Structure 1
Amino acid sequence: MTTGEFEQLIAKQKDKLYRFAFSILKNNEDAQDAVQELVVKLWGNKKSLDKTRNLESYCLNTLKNHCFDLLRKEKHKIDYQNSNVHNVAIDPDLENLDLVEKLRHELQNLPRQQRLAVELKDFQGYNYEEISEILEQSINAVRTNVSRGRKKLHEIFKEELKYADYI
């Protein structure tokens, strides 16, 4: 892969990569850093990228693994810092949030595999086969995670949806 081809690949994928990293990390700077680290890693392996069957899937899968590594490290750091501190976390008053903010909040409360599957399917527009490659799961597992995630969200928003016949 030439330098020009590599730059074109990154230019074409950077927004999608950022959105995906942000959907996992929930922090603008961390998402930007994760994408930058991915670009550096890909640059180091650019000769082997020619052999990759699906570059987009490869990039997203590599980014996903990197983001999860960051989250694990952050969790260990927080667990260590809080090992002797007992704070009670207060849930935000969901009644004061608008519907979109509620959806974002509840989406984050879904199990990780369901959250990622729903985000990739419904918010990023990937098909089941692409999601299967990205998450390294069978298509049936992806379909199940999307279905279960949607069902949980529907149960949570049943009351709000009752009054929204036009949706």
Structure 2
Amino acid sequence: MKQKEFLNIVMPFKDKVFRLSKRLLVSSEEAEDATQELLLKLWKNKEKLNTYKNVEAFAMTMTKNYCFDRLKSKQASNLSLVHSNYKENGTSLERITELNDSVSKVHQLIALLPEQQRIIIQLRDVEQYEYEEIGKVLDIKPTAVRVALSRARKTIREQLIKQHNYGIK
């Protein structure tokens, strides 16, 4: 396989790999390293890529496993929390602050979810994967993906409502 063929196969989902890495590792620098590492592994095994039905799903599975390995390693204690700020033009400072707080709260709530639910939220709501594709990546049935996604969204929604109501029912 030539470099051009490899790039045509891999480049369309490179950003998805980065976003999944960032969701799991939090740090942009760690996510960039994970993405680079995955691309290097794919390049080293470029001759085998044609044997896979869905190279993108294979790459996402590799990314998930690599990120879990990084988090389990001793270096995981050195990972830092980095947030990108939400910006919108023409909005008052007060509203921007509220939006930033809400976005940060959603990120925090997603981080508190069980690993599987975090991955499902990332793949479905951010990456727009189909239930069947997520099931293949995580090796579970599409109905289990739907149930986990529903539970994750419900948890986040309840926590946000609780926050916005200041604990008052």
The answer to whether TM tops 0.5 is yes
Match of 2:30 in 1: 30
Match of 2:120 in 1: 117
The one-letter code sitting in structure 1 at the alignment partner of 2:5 is: E
How much does 1:158 deviate? 2.2
Q: After superposition, what is the alpha-carbon deviation per residue over 1:111-141, rounded to whole angstroms, capped at 9, x for unaligned? A: 1111111121112211101111122222122
Q: Closer, same or farther in 2 for the Cα pair 1:156/1:129, shift >3 Å? A: same
Q: After superposition, what is the alpha-carbon deviation per residue over 1:59-93, rounded to whole angstroms, capped at 9, x for unaligned? A: 11111101100001047767xxxxxxxxxxxxxxx
Matched, 1:132 2:135: yes
Match of 2:87 in 1: none
3-state SS of 2:73 partner: helix
Match of 1:10 in 2: 10
1:76-87 correspondence runs (5 A): none
- 2:149 and 2:75 mapped to 1: Cα distance? 26
Matched, 1:43 2:43: yes
8 A Cα contact 2:13 2:56, kept in partner = yes
3-state SS of 1:137 partner: coil
How much does 1:161 deviate? 6.9
RMSD between aligned residues: 2.3
Q: Closer, same or farther in 2 for the Cα pair 1:160/1:137, shift >3 Å? A: same
Identify which range, 18-27 or 150-159, moves more after superposition: 150-159
- 1:144 and 1:27 mapped to 2: Cα distance? 29
Match of 1:71 in 2: 71
- 2:161 and 2:135 mapped to 1: Cα distance? 29
Matched, 1:105 2:108: yes
The one-letter code sitting in structure 2 at the alignment partner of 1:152 is: T
Q: Closer, same or farther in 2 for the Cα pair 1:75/1:3, shift >3 Å? A: closer
- 1:47 and 1:21 mapped to 2: Cα distance? 25
Q: Percent identity?
A: 37
Q: After superposition, what is the alpha-carbon deviation per residue over 1:129-156, rounded to whole angstroms, capped at 9, x for unaligned? A: 1111122222122112101101111211
- 2:56 and 2:161 mapped to 1: Cα distance? 36
The one-letter code sitting in structure 2 at the alignment partner of 1:23 is: R
The one-letter code sitting in structure 1 at the alignment partner of 2:145 is: V
- 2:72 and 2:54 mapped to 1: Cα distance? 27
- 1:36 and 1:42 mapped to 2: Cα distance? 10
Match among 124, 143, 147 for residue 146 of structure 2: 143
Structure 2 gaps of 5+ residues are: 79-97
Match of 1:165 in 2: none
- 1:4 and 1:53 mapped to 2: Cα distance? 20
